[in-house]
């Protein structure tokens, strides 16, 4: 039965799509606990093909205020920075514009 359903689905016209952050219902997680942090309710039938690659990128967002003195500042992050082939491990914004850190201490999770 399951195989016949898959065979039928393979015959249905389909298109690839990308789900982005605004497509999900988001909620805050709880530290050190398994927590549902995102949900998506499909409006139409979705089929994830087992033979196609799926690219997932999970993000953690933190905000800091700078002292405003123009000096280099170090921030300690609450989450570990994890290398991934799908996204940049660290993205910084200042005043709405993307900027590059002067340095990143991956062992201490601290961008400067």
Report helix, strand and coil shares of the chain as percent, to nearest 5. 10, 10, 75
* pTM to 2 decimal places: 0.46
CB neighbours (10 Å) of residue 111? 20
| Per-residue pLDDT at 111 exceeds 70 | no
Strand 104-105 and strand 110-111: pairing?
Answer: antiparallel
Residue-wise pLDDT tens digits, 41-88? 888 777 777 777 777 777 777 888 877 787 778 888 887 787 777 777
Instruction: Kindly report the average pLDDT of the chain as a whole number.
Output: 78
| Per-residue pLDDT at 89 exceeds 60 | yes
Q: Which residues pair with 104 in a beta bridge?
A: 111
């Amino acid at each position: 039965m399951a195989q016949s359903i898959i065979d039928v689905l393979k015959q249905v016209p389909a298109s690839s799509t990308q789900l982005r952050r605004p497509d999900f219902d988001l909620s805050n997680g709880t530290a050190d606990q398994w927590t549902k942090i995102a949900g998506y309710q499909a409006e139409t039938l979705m089929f994830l093909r087992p033979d196609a690659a799926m690219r997932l990128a999970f993000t953690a967002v933190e905000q800091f205020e700078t002292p405003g003195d123009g000096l280099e500042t170090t921030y300690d992050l609450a989450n570990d920075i994890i290398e991934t082939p799908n996204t940049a491990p660290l993205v910084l914004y200042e005043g709405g514009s993307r900027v590059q850190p002067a340095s990143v201490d991956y062992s201490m999770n601290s961008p400067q």
